[in-house]
Amino acid sequence: MPVINKHYLTKSRFTLLFLIMISFFIISVNAEAKKLFFDKHKKIVVLDPGHGGHDRGAHGPEGTYEKTVTLTLARMIATELGDKYRVFLIRTDDYQLDISERTSLANHQKADLFISIHTGGSFLHQAGGMTVYYYKEILQKKLLRETADKGKLKNSYDLIPWDDLQKRHKPASKTLAKLMEHHLNEKIKYIETGIEGMPLIVLSGVDMPAILIEIGYLTNPLEEKKMLDAKVLADLTKAISNGIDDFLLKKQ
Ligand SMILES: [Zn+2]
């Protein structure tokens, strides 16, 4: 039997182990770098669940709050979209944010689209229906920017009235609204989805294609029931996700 130097064996084993460890390290660093690269080039979707905290929004005859429905649905859409896009939720839990905070958070993401989720509310129980809104300015009323103190103005956004930021995305926002209307009507059959241009403040300062979806009237007993139905929420999730896919694919 050949005589093997024990010391040599230990040393070569150590070298082999070291090389294996280095290889794993290089592979994992490479995978991480690739992930970062692809994440950086992913489209960014911003979802804004309406209301929150002491601002409960509309509430239904059964006691359902709008803030709860909007957060549930936004979370479901984020899960459905998975890691296809970088998805950013403006509100992740039950707390209050004012409109300027929502707008700033959205613009900070430099996202590819913005969807604010709400329900309708009316004193008339029979009022109902689903609507996709895009921003449409009115001539009589000029929306004021939220920042009163000009001395604190830091970026170029502050030099442009807030409604101008959304105005320049109007054609894209309208396209997004039309696609969303189509997908909602395709998937949701119990209610009609319409489309409308409105001077909504939550959309006015958003510097990207933006819409607001009112997923029915919470004050309507039938529509409240539907908003609590897991199958309906799943269909809404699918329809809105399809609308997002459709818009972002067309945009490329
Ligand atoms: Zn609302």
Domain count within the chain: 1
Which range marks the domain in which residue 191 is found? 43-136+154-251
CATH code, 74: 3.40.630.40
Q: 123 pLDDT band (50/70/90 cuts)? A: confident
Q: From the CA of 36, how far away is ligand 1's center (Å)?
A: 36
Q: Residue 23 domain-assigned?
A: no
Q: From the CA of 72, how far away is ligand 1's center (Å)?
A: 14
| pLDDT: which is higher, 222 or 138 | 222
Which of 15-19, 30-34, 136-140, 162-166 has maximum average pLDDT? 162-166
Q: Residue 197 domain-assigned?
A: yes
Give the mean pLDDT of 16-38.
Answer: 64
Q: Residue 169 domain-assigned?
A: yes
User: Under 8 Å CB-to-CB from 62, ≥6 apart: which residues?
Assistant: 221, 224, 225, 228
pLDDT tens digits along 201-231? 999 999 999 999 999 999 999 999 999 999 9
Q: From the CA of 34, how far away is ligand 1's center (Å)?
A: 40
Q: From the CA of 216, how far away is ligand 1's center (Å)?
A: 11
> Which pTM was predicted?
0.78
Taking 70 as the threshold, does the pLDDT of residue 160 lie above it? Answer: no
Q: Residue 13 domain-assigned?
A: no
Q: Residue 239 domain-assigned?
A: yes
Are 107 and 206 in contact by the 8 Å Cβ rule? The answer is: yes
Q: What is the DSSP letter of 156?
A: G
* Cross-strand partners of 121: none
Q: From the CA of 5, how far away is ligand 1's center (Å)?
A: 79
Give 57-95 as a DSSP string. --B-TT--BHHHHHHHHHHHHHHHHTTSSEEEES--SS-
Give the mean pLDDT of 163-167.
Answer: 81
Give the mean pLDDT of 174-180.
Answer: 97
Q: 4 pLDDT band (50/70/90 cuts)? A: very low
pLDDT tens digits along 53-103? 999 999 999 999 999 999 999 999 999 999 999 999 999 999 999 999 999
Q: From the CA of 195, how far away is ligand 1's center (Å)?
A: 17
Q: Residue 37 domain-assigned?
A: no
Q: Residue 226 domain-assigned?
A: yes
Q: From the CA of 50, how far away is ligand 1's center (Å)?
A: 5
* Phi, psi (degrees; rounded to nearest 5) at 220: -90, 120
Q: Residue 4 domain-assigned?
A: no
